[in-house]
Amino acid sequence: MAPELVGRWITPEPEALVIRSNKSSDGAGINLGAALGARLSHGLQSFYGHTLPDIPGKEWASATELLAASMFFTDYCVLVNRLGLRFVDESYGSIDEFNAQAGCRQPGGRYFVLFDEKLRRERVDADVVGIPGLAVTRQVERLATIEALGASACRGETIEALAAAMESEWGVPAASVADTVRTYNEAPPRLEPPRRRDHSALAEGPFYAIRCVAGITYTMGGLQVGTGMEVAGAGAGVFAAGTDAGNVFEDAYGGGLAWAVVSGRVAGVGAAAVGAPAEVPA
Give me the domains of the chain, ranges plus CATH numbers.
36-42+220-271 (no CATH), 49-217 (3.90.700.10)
* Amino acid at position 202, single letter: L
Q: CB 116: neighbour CB atoms within 10 A?
A: 23
pLDDT at residue 90, rounded to an integer: 96
pLDDT at residue 1, rounded to an integer: 63
Average of per-residue pLDDT across 257-277: 85
pLDDT classification of 133: cutoffs 50, 70, 90: low
pLDDT at residue 132, rounded to an integer: 59
- Out of 98-102, 157-161, 188-192, pick the least confident: 188-192
pLDDT > 90? residue 60: no
Beta-bridge partners for 214: 51
Residues 6+ apart with CB under 8 A from 264: 241, 242
Q: What is the pLDDT of residues 194-236, one digit of tens each?
A: 999 999 999 999 999 999 999 998 888 888 899 999 999 888 8
Q: Which residue has the higher pLDDT, 254 or 84?
A: 84
Question: What rounded mean pLDDT belongs to the chain?
Answer: 89
Cα–Cα distance, 214 to 104 (Å, whole number): 6
Residues 6+ apart with CB under 8 A from 58: 149, 150
Instruction: Report percent pLDDT > 70 for the chain.
Output: 92
Taking a C-beta distance cutoff of 8 angstroms, is the pair 239, 229 a contact? yes
The CB-based long-range contact list for 32-37 (8 Å cut-off, 24+ gap) reads 33/223, 33/231, 33/234, 33/238, 33/240, 36/231, 36/233, 36/234, 36/235, 36/238, 37/233, 37/234, 37/235
Q: Rounded to the nearest 5°, which phi and psi values hold at 47?
A: -155, 155
Average of per-residue pLDDT across 63-83: 93
Q: Which residue has the higher pLDDT, 188 or 150?
A: 150
Q: Which residue has the higher pLDDT, 206 or 24?
A: 206
Cα–Cα distance, 158 to 220 (Å, whole number): 40
